[in-house]
């Protein structure tokens, strides 16, 4: 076990997070409101200094803006991936993240997602669900294309 002030070592799990890096444009559908709405967003992801944590900033273009700031990393305590998100409506979420090849799953108390990378890492197929009245329901589906 490491001492409390001994820094973690950057490893393969950190390197794998690089698939999220870049500037992305996403289009799809949001189902969380009273009706299905078009979803258009842009998100950028960059390394925080030291390349232990990845910072992603997403801005939507919907009638009710939904902007999210996320931090992804590897917990030095558990050795597992995590994501913490903060959004403009005041919500804070913590997700356990699991990677299986090109598929990343995010599991939280009230939301979960499946993100699959394709086209050589230039495409993300993103499916979110939310827990409502004890059942998992579609929240939003979108496809993101890497612009840079």
**Domain annotation covers residue 6:** no
**Domain annotation covers residue 7:** no
pLDDT over 70, % of the chain? 97
Structure tokens at 107: 């599991």
Parent domain of 82: 12-146
**Domain annotation covers residue 26:** yes
59-63, 77-81, 124-128, 141-145, range with the lowest pLDDT = 59-63
* pLDDT, tens digit, 9 for 90 and up, residues 87-105: 999 999 999 999 999 999 9
**Domain annotation covers residue 37:** yes
Number of structural domains, the chain? 1
Please state the pTM of the whole predicted model.
Answer: 0.92
pLDDT over 60 (residue 146): yes
1-5, 41-45, 48-52, range with the lowest pLDDT = 1-5
Nearest Cα neighbor of 61 from 39, 46, 82, 44 is 39
Helix (H, G, I), strand (E, B) or coil at 132: strand
Nearest Cα neighbor of 93 from 77, 78, 106, 103 is 106
Helix (H, G, I), strand (E, B) or coil at 18: helix
Mean pLDDT of 72-90: 96
């Amino acid at each position: 076990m490491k001492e409390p002030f001994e820094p973690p070592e950057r490893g393969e799990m950190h390197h794998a997070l690089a698939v999220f890096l870049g500037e992305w444009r996403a289009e799809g559908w949001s189902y969380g409101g009273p009706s299905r709405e078009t979803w258009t967003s842009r998100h950028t992801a960059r390394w925080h200094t030291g390349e232990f944590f990845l910072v992603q900033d997403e801005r939507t273009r919907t009638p009710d803006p939904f902007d999210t700031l996320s931090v992804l990393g590897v917990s030095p305590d558990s050795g597992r991936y995590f994501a913490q998100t903060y959004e403009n409506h005041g919500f804070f979420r913590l997700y356990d993240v699991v990677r299986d090849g090109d598929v990343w799953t995010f599991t939280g108390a009230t939301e979960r997602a499946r993100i699959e990378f394709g086209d050589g890492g230039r495409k993300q197929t993103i499916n979110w669900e939310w827990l409502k009245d004890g059942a998992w329901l579609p929240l939003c589906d979108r496809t993101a294309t890497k612009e840079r």
